[in-house]
Structure 1
Amino acid sequence: MNPSSLPASASVAVIGAGRLGGVLAAALRRAGLAVHAPLRRDDEIPAVDVALLCVPDAAIAAAARVARPHARLVGHVSGATPLDDVDFSIHPLQTFTGAEQPQVFHGIGCAVAGRTDDALAVADGLVAALGARAFRVDDEHRAAYHAAASMASNLLLTTLDAAEQVAAIAGIRSDDARALLAPLVRQTVANWEATGARAALTGPIVRGDESTVARQRDAIAEERPDLVVLFDALCDGTRTLAARGESA
C-alpha cells in the first residue's frame, strides 16, 4: 500500500476488544475496508496494511511492538499518548459505551497526528472512511486537548451525578431526577454551543444573589457534606466566569 492514500481495499486490524474497538471495527467494515477485528492483544495478527491499537494507554508500547511485524503502519486511538511507538493516531472526540451504531462517527471531530506526511494522510483517510471530520493536534498539545475532552465529558458526568444526589435530598428519585434534569442539561449545552459559556450563564451567581447560593450550600452541607467541596469549587469557578463578562 502506498501510505499516502487509503484505498477501499486497505486491510485494517483493530486490536483491542473494549468499548471503542468493536464500534470502530464495525464502522470501518461498513465503510468497505477489509477489517480484522476486534482482535484481543494475545490474538494472532494477520498481515495487514494498518494495525489500529484500541488498547489502554499503558499498553500501547507493548501492543505496538507486537503489531509492528504484521502491519505496514501502526496507529493508536489515544487522545493523550504521543506518537513515540506508533506512526499515527486518530482520536474520535466522542464518548463510547460499546453499544453505539457505526454511524456514531458521522460528523464528529477526530484528532489526528502522524510522524510523516504519509502516515498523516492515512490517518486522514481512516477518519474520512468513518464519516468524521479530522483536525490536527500535535504531541506538544495532546495533554491540554485531552484535558478539554475530559472536562466536557467525564468531569461533566461528575457534576451531573452530584446534581442527582442533591436532588435526592429533595425526595426526587434518581431515575426521575435524570428525566427531569436532562432537558435543562440539553438546553444549557445548546446555549453554550451557540453563544459560549458566559452569555449562556443564568442563575443566582450571575445575578449576584449570594444569599440564595448560601441557602443552597447549607442544604447540601446538612445532608451531603461530602459534596460541599465540589459545590464550593463549582461556585468559585462560576463567579470567575460571571466576572469575566463584567470586565469585558
Structure 2
Amino acid sequence: MKPSNSLLSASARVAVIGAGRLGGVLAGALRAAGLDVHGPFGRDAAVPTVDIALLCVPDAAIAAAADAVRDRARFVGHVSGATTLDDVDFSVHPLQTFTGDETPDVFRGIGCAIDARTDEALAVATGLADALGARAFRVGDAQRAGYHAAASTASNLLLTVLDAAEQLAVTAGLPSADARALLAPLVRRTVENWADAGAEASLTGPIARGDEGTVARQRAAVAGATPDLVALFDQLCGSTRELAGRTQEEAA
C-alpha cells in the first residue's frame, strides 16, 4: 500500500466506519470535498485497504473497531470528543450536534477539536478539518474530558433546561409546539448575547435584579405544576445567584 501523503488529493482513500448520524454526514462532506471516500460501513463490514480509517462508532466500541482495521489503514482516527488516543493515531471531533439529515456544508466554520500521537498523524487530522471547512484547535488527552463536558453542557444539558422550560409553558396553557415557537426567539437572543459578551454581562431577570419575591412565586408555580422539576429549578437558581454575585463584585 502506498497511500498519498496529501490528504487533500483525490487519491487519498478514506474509509468511514459507523453508519450512524455523524458517519453518514461526515462521509458525504468528505466526498463533497473531493476525497476518495468509502462507506460509511457498518462495524462488522469488510473495509477495504485505505489511507485513513475514520471511526464514527460509540466510545465503548473504538478499541475493537480500531483493532479490526489496523492492518488495512495507514492512519486510524476517531471522532470522539472524550476518548483518548490509546487505540488510534489521531482524533477529529466536530464541535456540533447532528441529526443525520445535514448537508455537507454543516461543518463549514464550526470548531473541530483535533489531536494526534505523531506530527504526521496531526497533519492528517488538520487536513481532514480543513477539508471540511472547519476551524481546527488542539485538545490533548489530559484536557479531553473537560472539553467534552463543556460541549455536553452547551448542547445536551442545555436541551434538558429547554425541555423543562417547555414543560412549564405547557402547564401555563401553551401547547408544546407553540411554547417552543414562542420561547425560541428568547433562547436565540440569549445565546447571541452570551456569544458576544459572556454570561455575566448578559444576565437579566429577577435573580439579576435581586427580586427574590418573584423567584419564590416562580418556585411555587413549579412545585405546584411540575414538582419533579423543583430540584432542577433550585440548582439553576443557586448557580444563577452565584453568577449574579460575580457580576456585582466586578461592578463594585
Short-chain TM bin:
over 0.9
Looking at structure 1, the residues matched to 151 and 159 of structure 2 have their Cα atoms a distance apart, in angstroms, of: 12
Superimposed CA distance per residue, residues 166-209 of structure 1 (whole angstroms, 9 cap, x where no aligned partner): 00111001000000000000000000000000100000000000
Q: CA deviation at 1:6?
A: 4.4
Shift of 1:5: 5.1
Counterpart position of 1:84? 86
What does the per-residue CA deviation read over 1:205-233, in whole Å, with 9 as the maximum and x for residues that have no partner? 00000000000000010111000000000
> Structure 1 stretches of 5 or more lacking a match?
none
- Rounded to whole Å, the distance in 1 between the matches of 2:7 and 2:225 is 60
Instruction: Give a deviation string over 1:30-87, Cα, whole Å, max 9, x none.
Output: 0000000110011101000000000000000000000101100000000000000000
Write the letter of the residue equivalent to 1:40.
G
Q: C-alpha separation between the residues in 2 aligned to 1:69 and 1:146? A: 30
- Work out the number of aligned pairs and report it: 248
Partner of 1:206: 208
Alignment match, 1:192: 194
Match of 2:226 among 207, 218, 224: 224
| Identical residues among aligned pairs (%) | 71
Contact 2:6 2:12 in 1 (8 A): no
Counterpart of 1:29?
31
CA distance in 2, matches of 1:79, 1:55: 12
TM-score for both structures, normalised by structure 2: 0.97
More divergent stretch after superposition (139-148 vs 6-15): 6-15
> Would you identify which runs of 4 or more consecutive aligned residues in structure 1 move more than 4 Å?
2-6
Paired letter, 2:228:
D
Shift, 1:246, TM fit? 1.4
CA distance in 1, matches of 2:222, 2:145: 34
**Matches of 1:31 and 1:55 in 2, distance apart?**
22
* Alignment-derived partner of residue 122 in structure 1: 124
**Structure 1 residues 95-134: aligned runs within 5 Å:** 95-134=97-136
Which of residues 215, 235, 247 in structure 2 aligns to 1:233?
235
Structure 1 partner of 2:184: 182
Q: Tell me the C-alpha RMSD between the 2 structures.
A: 0.9
Deviation, 1:245, is: 1.1
* Structure 2 letter corresponding to 1:139: D
Q: Distance in 2 between matches of 1:3 and 1:143?
A: 31
Aligned-partner SS, 1:164: helix
Match for residue 57 of structure 2 among 55, 58, 70? 55
The whole-number CA distance in structure 1 between the counterparts of 2:148 and 2:4 is 31
5+ residue gaps, structure 2, are: none
The amino acid that maps onto 1:17 is A
* Structure 2: distance between partners of 1:27 and 1:165: 36
User: What letter matches 1:52 in structure 2?
Assistant: L
